[in-house]
Chain A
Amino acid sequence: MTATAAEPAVDARGLVKVFERGRRTFWQRLRGEPDRRERFHAVDGIDLRVERGEIFGLLGPNGAGKTTTMKMLATLLIPTSGTISVLGIDVLARPRDVRARLGAMLSGERSLYWKLTARENLEYFAALYHVPPRQTRARIDDALTSVKLLDRADDYVERYSTGMRQRLALARALLPDPPLVILDEPTVGLDPQAARDLRARVRELRSQGRTVLLTTHYMEEADQLCDRVAIIDHGRIVALDTPGALKRTIRAEEVVRLEIGLADDGAAVLERLGRSATVARSERHNGTLAVTAHCASARDFVPAAFDAARSAGATIQHVEVVPVTLEDVFISLTGRALRE
C-alpha cells in the first residue's frame, strides 16, 4: 500500500506502552515465582492524527510519555497495544518502509560520532539511508547548507558546540529527503540564540512542504513553532488544538504571579484572593507563597490582592503580570507546572 496525499502523516489509535519497573532475578524466574514487578503505563491510550505539512507539537513535562510516543512512531519501540500508521504505512507490519521515509532526531548530539568530521558522519548515514551514491555528495551539501554548517563540514564533531551538534543531527535527519521529520526535544540544552536558530530551521522544513512532529517541554517553543499542540501528561493527551485555541480555554485575559511573604499556612490569603480571581496554582516554600492567578483584569485584581494580603497579615513581595501561555493551560488542566 502506498501513501496518498489525503492520508495523514501520522495516525495513531489507542496507543499504549507498558513497562515493568524493578527487576526479576534469574533465581525468581528459575523458581517460577510470579512476576511481581510493577506495571507502569508510560503511554496510556493516545489517539493522535498529524496532518501533512503542519508542525505538530507534543508538549508536556519530563516523564509525560512524549519520547516513548516518538520512539513507537519511529519503530524503535513496539507498543503494548494500539495501531500506528505513518504516511499511510503500518509501522508494525512494515517498519523498514517507514524508516525509509522518516527523518528522525531522537537523541540529538549524543548520537553522532565525535571522532569523525560532520561530512564523514553524514557519508556514513547517507549509506545507511540508502541515498544513491551519485546523489550522496549533493545531498550532504544540501543538508549541511540547510543547517548552516557547510563551512565547518570537515571539522571533527568533538570541536563543535552543543548547538552545532544538534544542527548536525538535524542535517542527518534530512539526508533521506523525508516527508516527515520527528524531533525529540530539539532545543534542549541550547543557548537562546542557538535555540532560535534551530527553530528557524524547523520552520523552513514546513515551508519545504514537510511535516514536522516534535516534542518539547518549553511552552514558548510550542507556542511559537507549532500549528497544533497536544498537551500530554501521565501518558495521556489532556488537550489538543492550536496554541491560540488552547489559550482561549483559560477564562482569563491575564495571568498574575504573586510571591507572598507570610507566617501561617496561607489558607486565609488564598481564600481572599479566590474572591476576585481563579487561583490556578499555589506553592508554599520557605515562608513564601507563590500564587498563579487567572483574572479578567490585572488592573482590578492586583489592588484587591494587596488588600487581601494586608488583611491576612501577609506581605506581597513580588508581582508579575503576564499574558496567558500554554503553561497556564497545562496548570489549569493538571494543577501542576510543566517543570514540576
Chain B
Amino acid sequence: MSLLAADARAFVAAARKELRMWRRYPLFILGLLFWPIVLPATWVLMGQAYSGGGDARALAAFAERAGTTEFAGFVFVGYAMYMWLSNLLWGPGTALRQEQIRGSLEAVFLTPTSRLVALFAPPISHLPFSLLNFVTMGLTLWLVFGIVLPLGPVLEAMVVIAIGIPSMYAIGSLFAASVLRFGETGPIVQLVRGTFVLACGITFPLVMLPGWAQAGAALLPPTYIVADIRTVLFRGVGLGGIAIDLVLLLAFAGLITLLAVWVFRILETSARRRGTLGSY
C-alpha cells in the first residue's frame, strides 16, 4: 500500500470515526431538523408582514433587486448557506479542539499518518448533516410554502453545491487550523460568520450593499454559491450562464486549501516548539 493510499484510508477512517461518534447522540438529529425549518420560516413570515402580505408592488420592488419574486425560496436558500457555513466554521474547529482537550490529538499525531488527515477529515464528516439541511429546507418550501422546485433546476443546484464543497470545506479547515494556536476559536468564528452573513447576501440581495462592500463580497466563495443556487432555482438560468462563477469557485478552493495547509503547518510546528499540542 502506497503512502498516499494509506493516508486516504486513514482519511476515510477519521471521517467514519466522527460520524460514529455523532451517531451516539441521536437527539442531535432533532436540532438538524428543527432549526432549518424554524429559522428561515421566521424570516419569511417577517417578509410577508413587511410587504403587506405579498403586495404586488412590494414583490416587484423585491424582484427588481433580487431577480425573483420567490422571497420564501430566496430566504431558504440563504439560510441553507448560513447553516452550512455555521457547520463548517464551528464543526471542524470544535472537533480539533475536542481532540486537543481530550488528549487524543497527541495520540493522533503520534501515528505516521499525514497531519492533514486530522485537519480535513472532520469537515468531510459534516457533509451528510449539511445535505440533510438542504433536503429539510427543500421539503419545507414545498410542504409549508407550496413552492415546488422543478427537478432540472434542483439537479443544477446540486451541481453548484458539489462544486462549492471544496471551497467551503477549505474555509472550515482554515479555521480549524487556528485552533492549534488560539485554542478557543469561538469569538473569531462569530466575527467571521457575521461578516459572511452580511457580505455574502445570505438574507438580502447583494445590491443592497454599498459598492465597496460588494467588491469585498466578490472575494468570498459563499457569495457565488448562494447567488448561483438562487439563479438556477428561481431565474431559469442554466449552468452555462454561471460557468465563470463555477470556475472561480474551483480556483478559490485551490487557493484556500493551500492557505489552510500552509497555516496549519506553521501552527503545528509552532505548537511542537511551544508544547501546546495537548494543552487545554
Contact = CB atoms under 8 A, between A and B. Distances in A.
Interface of A: 17, 19, 68, 71, 74-78, 96-97, 99-100, 102, 104, 106-108, 110-113, 115-116, 120, 123-130, 132-133, 169, 172, 176
Interface string B180-200: 000000000000000000000
Given A75-B110, A76-B109, 16 more contacts: A76-B277, A76-B278, A78-B273, A99-B111, A106-B106, A110-B102, A112-B104, A112-B107, A113-B17, A113-B104, A116-B21, A120-B20, A124-B17, A127-B14, A129-B111, A176-B111
Nearest to B118: A128
A144 B109 CA distance: 22
B10 interface: yes
Nearest to B13: A127
Given A125-B111, A129-B111, A107 B106 contact: yes
Interface in B97-129: 102-104, 106-113, 117
B104 A128 contact: no
Given A99-B110, A130-B1, A110 B104 contact: yes
7 contacts: A17-B275, A19-B275, A75-B272, A78-B269, A99-B111, A127-B9, A133-B1
Interface of B: 1, 3, 6-7, 9-10, 12-14, 16-17, 20-21, 24, 102-104, 106-113, 117, 269, 272-275, 277-278
A49 B277 CA distance: 27
Contacts of B272: 75-78
A125 B113 CA distance: 10
Nearest to B275: A77
Contacts of B106: 76, 106-107, 111
Contacts of B109: 75-76
A260 B110 CA distance: 50
Given A76-B109, A128-B117, A133-B9, A115 B21 contact: yes
Contact of A129 (B16, B24, B104, B113): B113
A252 B275 CA distance: 42
A209 B278 CA distance: 31
